[in-house]
Each structure stands twice: as structure tokens, then as C-alpha cells.
Amino acid sequence: MTTATALTGGAAVVGIGATEFSKSSGRSELQLACEAVLLALADAGLTPADVDGLVSFTADTSGEIHVARNTGMGELTFFSRVGYGGGAGCATVQQAAMAVASGAAEVVVCYRAFNERSGERYGLGQADRAMDTGADRAAYSWMTPFGLNTPAQWVAMFARRYMHEYGATSEDFGRVAVVDRRHAATNPAAWFHGRPITLADHQASRWIAEPLRLLDCCQETDGGQALVIVSADRARDLPHPPALILGAAQGSGADQHMMTSYYREHISGIPEMGLVGRQLYAQSGLRPDDIDAAILYDHFTPLVLPQLEELGFCGVGEAKDFIADGHLELGGRLPANTHGGQLGEAYLHGMNGIAEAVRLVRGSSANQPEDVAHVLVTAGTGVPTSGLVLGAAR
């Protein structure tokens, strides 16, 4: 039996917890992490003393030992971190599920917390960061002299090529933002609660890096999010319906770079997401038609379109029509980002999206579609990435 097969349905997300989402938290990233962890454990009906595993991002500043000490945890038998920024999101749950399936740990908490608005702002990119001698910085040195310094500038190159090849327009990207903000407007936890936008609003927003407008770009958020993972057997005795982990995968494509995979023969796709999707469907035994809702990583709207294509929800070049036909709406074929996404709810490197997928499986989303049994979640795009399929216990 392969590890992937052993994983399928053997573990579940049983607790979710988050701080408020703000632009100025007024407290340390460690405090945000601890608050989110404690809330997630309370949601799961567990205590810090029950935890024996922790997983986070290499980008997180709150070390496992500090989270453990400040929340009252005891001994840890498993701890790990996943790299590549937002691409790590779903992989933290994969690592937790593997730890539970292998017996390395019994109760694993995944967490991510940062002051991304009031502290280090990721949107500023590489230009103002201290020089170092690492391989990543060396790779970026081929881009920065030509004005490719920030995430928006990196994605603009991809977006322009995608538009050229498939006839997509700025309005097609804008429809993603409109859907996200519509869902955020009715989600009390969202930063943009009560503030929907129209396509005209999107088109009137200022350029950031053509063809990206302001409303194509995700927020910068202060906050924390945590998730609790245990075995499916143990999950049956806890307060909430478990969100079974039916598939969990990572993927890095050939000639992969960090949001700048310009050396590939074709730069209008994200093959690493296709790799993740193939694994998820193989592990879960599901097909695209079996997915009832999706949480698609939306740090920049153009990268939502190839996700739909790579994951088999529509053909290559057809995502603009799939979206225009209303399929991402609550009453559509694939309700997406029902929490408002990173454009509408908060930018927590995708961890808040995993929490929304849990709510969808539980039936407790602020924008709950009918009959949700299977939810697909994606992590950061343009980078080595990851994905999940969560399902309801039947």
C-alpha cells in the first residue's frame, strides 16, 4: 500500500480557529499564532496537552517550541515546516495527515500567523530586502534588473501571455474579483464584509502592473489561522462533523521557479497544479464532476483561470467562459471561495481557505451551498504548490 493510499480518509480536520483579520493587529505574530491555535483546539474539543505535533510554513516567524510553551503543550513527537510561501498551505495538512497515519503523532496542529500589513509586506517583493547569497536570491537576480521585483510584476508577465494565447481580457480577470467580493460581503468574518464590488469598479481601479489592476491583487492581512488534524477514528468522538482528508498532494513542475517560471516552453499554464490535481483524483477516487465546491488560491485573479483548467473543470483556454457563465457563483456548477477568498476575506497564505473548506463540509459556511460532500482546495500558484480534497463522513 502506498503512502498516498494509506492517507485517504485516514485523518480528518476536526478543529479550526482564527483571530480577527485586520490591517493592524497590535500584537506579535507569536501571540496571533497562539490565539489561533487555542481557538482551533477549543473548536475540536481538545486541549493543548493533547497536542503532540505541529506543522507550519518556513515563512512563519513563530517557532514550534515557542507556540508549544506559550499555549501549554507538553512533549512533541512531530514537527515540520513546508517551504515556498503560499504553496505550503495544503501541504501542512498533508504533513499532519501523514504524521497521524504513520503513528508519528496523534493530534497535530497546523498554523500560520503574520502581520503582513503592519509588519513585513510581501507585496513589496525583493527590491528592498537585504541581499543574501542563497540560491533563491541568485535566481531572482536575473529578474530584478529588468523591473521584475514584486509578485504583481511577476504575475503580470504570465497574465499577459495568457491573454495573448486565449483571448482573455481584464474583464475576465475582474469577474473573479467580483465573485470573491460578493461572497465576502455576506461573510461577517471577512475584511470586506458588506462591501461588494461591480465589474465597473474593477475596471476603474488603478493599474498595479499591467494587466493587473488593484482589484486583481489580494489583500495584505494581519492575523492567524490554525487547524487540528487527528485520525478519522478519533474524529468520530469529537464535537463537529469531521472533514475527512480524502486527498493531499504536493507538486513542483519541470523547470519550476518561484512565480517566475519563464524558461518553460509554455508559460501560460501552471503544470504543477495539474500534477497536484492528478494525485488528488487518484487518491480520492473522485473526478472533477464529483467536486461540489472549490477554494481556489486567489492571490492574483489571472492565476485562478488556469487552475480551473489544470484541475479539469474546463478545457484549456475555456476558464474565462466557465466563469462568465456563472459557475463560480453559489448557484453555479462549482461554488468557489465562498468565504470571499484572499481578495475578500483575508490573505493568510491560504490557510483561511482550508478553514472555509472545513465549514463547507460541516455545512456551516456563511455562504453555504446545498449538498456539499467534496471540496477541493488549492494552495499558492506560480510556485511549488499543494492541494487537498476534503469530504464529509457518510
Catalytic residue numbers read: 297, 347
- What is the CA angle 128-129-131, rounded to 5? 120
- What is the CA angle 86-367-222, rounded to 5? 35
Sign of CA pseudo-dihedral 252, 310, 283, 91: positive
- Give the whole-angstrom CA distance, residue 283 versus residue 233: 19
Q: Nine-digit cell at 210?
A: 499591467
- Give the whole-angstrom CA distance, residue 359 versus residue 187: 12
Residue among 299, 24, 359, 6 at smallest CA distance from 152: 299
User: Which element (helix H / strand E) includes 39?
Assistant: helix 29-44
Measured between alpha carbons, how far is residue 209 from residues 152, 173, 179, 268, 322 in Å? 6, 14, 22, 17, 25
- Give the whole-angstrom CA distance, residue 107 versus residue 246: 18
Strands annotated E in the chain: 11-18, 53-57, 78-82, 108-115, 207-209, 212-213, 222-231, 243-251, 293-295, 374-378, 385-392
Amino acid at 103: G
Q: Which residue has the cell 528592498?
A: 128
Residue among 155, 280, 294 at smallest CA distance from 211: 155
- Give the whole-angstrom CA distance, residue 11 versus residue 13: 7
- Non-local CB neighbours of 256 within 8 Å, separated by 6+ positions: 272, 383, 384
Q: Which residue has the cell 477549543?
A: 42
